[in-house]
Amino acid sequence: MIELGVNIDHVATLREARKGKAPDVIMAAKVCELAGAHQITVHLRQDRRHIQDRDVEALKQVLLIRMNLEMGATDEIIAIAHRILPHTVCLVPESRQEITTEGGLDVVSQRARLAEVVRGMHGRGIKVSMFIDPEEAQVDASAEIGADFVEFHTGAYANAGEDQVQAELDRLYACGARTIAAGLGLHAGHGLTVRNLVPVARMPGLSEVNIGHDIIARAVFIGLEDAVREILDILHEWSEW
């Protein structure tokens, strides 16, 4: 079955709106764990707009499931990852003005630097994923620098109009096949929802999705545990393996 990483950044967004203690990010993570999620994903941004250093430290201590740290490849955040030792890091592009992670990482143009980051993580037993757009050159570059996984940015698929959806899916599937052939693990995330997940879940070789906004948004109305469970049900029903 395809594994589910729940991104809980938006629980922290709500907390930071008042700079208080509620809603509790750790409690949210444990509810996701209880509901059957396989991983908790958090993005420690340079601007600390939602997740804080103390959240990452506490999650590492209390989680029974994996912690996946999304991060820009800056020296400051790399040092934090090396100290806290998440199970995986997912390298993402980061610009301070963006509302969310707006595109994939350009691995092609930063091969040498990113290869060094991958080596540093591997030296500490941390597996590395590259958050890339579904483009052949980015897949090839990710394999070349020794990444363990790629996570396809599914934003273009999620935002595609009716006449473009199939083209975006074809692009995902073609690059997915190339990823598997290169021996990398295949993940997907961004903009995935209960309504658009099925065609992505059917992508051959997909082993993990990371979903945040839709789960937290639905949790406001149906509760976090049910919001996680309904995604797990879809993955269970529709994944090819």
- Footprint of ligand PXP on this chain (CB under 6 A)? 7, 9, 43, 70, 90, 92, 100-101, 131, 151, 189-192, 210-214
Considering the complex, state which of residue 178 and residue 190 has its C-beta at the smaller distance from ligand PXP. Answer: 190
Amino acid letter for position 23: P
| C-beta neighbour count of 65 within 10 angstroms | 19
> Which is catalytic among the residues 10, 50, 153, 190?
190
Tell me 195's DSSP state: T
> Which is catalytic among the residues 10, 38, 43, 153?
43
Considering the complex, state which of residue 93 and residue 120 has its C-beta at the smaller distance from ligand PXP. Answer: 93
- What is the C-alpha to C-alpha distance for residues 28 and 25, in angstroms, rounded to an integer? 5
- What is the C-alpha to C-alpha distance for residues 74 and 94, in angstroms, rounded to an integer? 10
Q: Considering only CA atoms, which of 39, 48, 94 is closest in space to residue 235?
A: 39
Q: Min. distance of Cβ 221 from ligand PXP in angstroms? A: 17
Considering the complex, state which of residue 7 and residue 88 has its C-beta at the smaller distance from ligand PXP. Answer: 7
Q: Min. distance of Cβ 149 from ligand PXP in angstroms? A: 11
> Which is catalytic among the residues 33, 70, 168, 208?
70
> Is-contact 211 192, C-beta < 8 A?
yes
| C-beta neighbour count of 144 within 10 angstroms | 14
Counted residue by residue, the chain has a size of 241
Amino acid letter for position 8: I
Q: Min. distance of Cβ 137 from ligand PXP in angstroms? A: 19
Active site residue 57: no
Active site residue 208: no
Considering the complex, state which of residue 50 and residue 178 has its C-beta at the smaller distance from ligand PXP. Answer: 50
- What is the C-alpha to C-alpha distance for residues 144 and 188, in angstroms, rounded to an integer? 20
Active site residue 144: no
Q: Min. distance of Cβ 22 from ligand PXP in angstroms? A: 21
Q: Min. distance of Cβ 214 from ligand PXP in angstroms? A: 6
Q: Phi and psi dihedrals of 124, rounded to 5?
A: -110, 10
Secondary structure (DSSP) of 92-123: ----TT-SS--S----GGGHHHHHHHHHHHHH
- Residues designated catalytic: 43, 70, 190
